[in-house]
Amino acid sequence: MINILDLLARILISTIFLLSGVNKISNYEGAIVWMESMGMPGIFLIPAIILEIAGPILIIIGYKVKISAALLSMFCVATAVIFHNNFSDQMQLMSFLKNIGLAGGFLFLFVNGAKNFSLDKKFKN
């Protein structure tokens, strides 16, 4: 049961980033405009898309989970600070806290890794 819950947790925490990365591809120009309106160069969109798609896939399949989780945790904190820092706006405050909470979840994965339903465990044995 623990292995199933671990896999489910990895899927649930990863889904938001996987969908966000796909959405950035389908609305590439709009994403660049939004990033630049927040003071970030649009060129950073490409590594963001790569991380938001590759990281969750690796976490879901359980390969290099600790590295992917560490990178996504740092990404969550960075995006919270850069894009969701207007605490007078309730939605921005909630987005900030959501990102910080997700960073904590990814840190938990970084510390503990994935359980038995993962490629990391398969390759370890």
Q: Alpha-carbon distance 86 to 110, whole Å?
A: 29
Q: How confident is the model at residue 58 (pLDDT cuts 50, 70, 90)?
A: very high
- pLDDT at residue number 89: 95
Q: Which residues of 89-123 are buried (b: 16+ CB within 10 A; e: fewer)?
A: eeeeeebbeebeebbebbbebbeebbbebbebeee
Cut 0.85: pTM above it: yes
Q: How confident is the model at residue 122 (pLDDT cuts 50, 70, 90)?
A: confident
Write out pLDDT tens, residues 100-113. 999 999 999 999 99
Q: Is the confidence at residue 125, as pLDDT, over 70? A: no
Write out pLDDT tens, residues 32-41. 999 999 999 9
Amino acid found at 65: V
Are the CB atoms for 51 and 76 separated by under 8 Å? no
